[in-house]
Amino acid sequence: MADTKTMTPPADEKSILVTKEGLKKLTEELDGLRNVKRKEVAERIKEAISYGDLSENSEYEEAKNEQAFVEGRIMDLEEKVKFAKIINEKHQMASVQLGTKVIVRNLSKRSAQNEEYTIVGSTEADPLAHKISNESPVGSALLDRKAGDKIKVHIPAGAVEYEILKLE
């Protein structure tokens, strides 16, 4: 099972860095796939087999494809949960680390509003929820920086300059 010590681990090749909330979501998805989805797909396969001739049975083919996807996702999630390392969300606010909420101002835009990001491991990244990966261009540029620092980040759309206003 996952190591649940609250720490900021050294990033080794196997570690999957997640917050407590992120690990909870992974385990919930894994439980749902194992206990619900797997059974649903097995029933669909059983029903499709009852239709006869499997060589021209599209329902059977679809159910087998879904089964392969579900089993692959289960294996992926098991691996992530097995190697999950909880990142410390209550660390010193001296510099940006995993789990830090960062408030920045985009200096490349004239009327830019402040933007808020939480730096997370790549497994948890969700740009729409303002959770950016420590491996993304902006996330990696923010790491180890302090409030007041200005950074220039090269993103696919060009170069962007940010000022770090506050760490939470």
Q: Please tell me the distance from the alpha carbon of residue 86 to that of residue 18, in angstroms, as a whole number.
A: 5
Q: What is the pLDDT of residues 72-101, one digit of tens each?
A: 999 999 998 998 888 765 555 678 888 889
Q: What is the pLDDT of residues 11-65, one digit of tens each?
A: 456 788 788 888 898 999 999 999 999 999 999 999 888 888 777 888 899 999 9
CA 79 to chain CA centroid, nearest Å: 14
Residue 6's pLDDT is what?
A: 38
Residue 12's pLDDT is what?
A: 52
More confident residue, 54 or 103: 103
Domain ranges of the chain: 16-86, 101-167
DSSP of 95-107, one letter per residue? S--TT-EEEEEET
Q: Are 120 and 133 in contact (CB under 8 A)?
A: yes
Q: Please tell me the distance from the alpha carbon of residue 71 to that of residue 132, in angstroms, as a whole number.
A: 28
Q: Please tell me the distance from the alpha carbon of residue 117 to that of residue 139, in angstroms, as a whole number.
A: 9
Q: What is the pTM of this model?
A: 0.61
Provide the CATH topology of domain 16-86: Helix Hairpins (1.10.287)
Q: Please tell me the distance from the alpha carbon of residue 29 to that of residue 81, in angstroms, as a whole number.
A: 11
Read off the tokens for 114: 């402040």
Class of domain 101-167: alpha beta
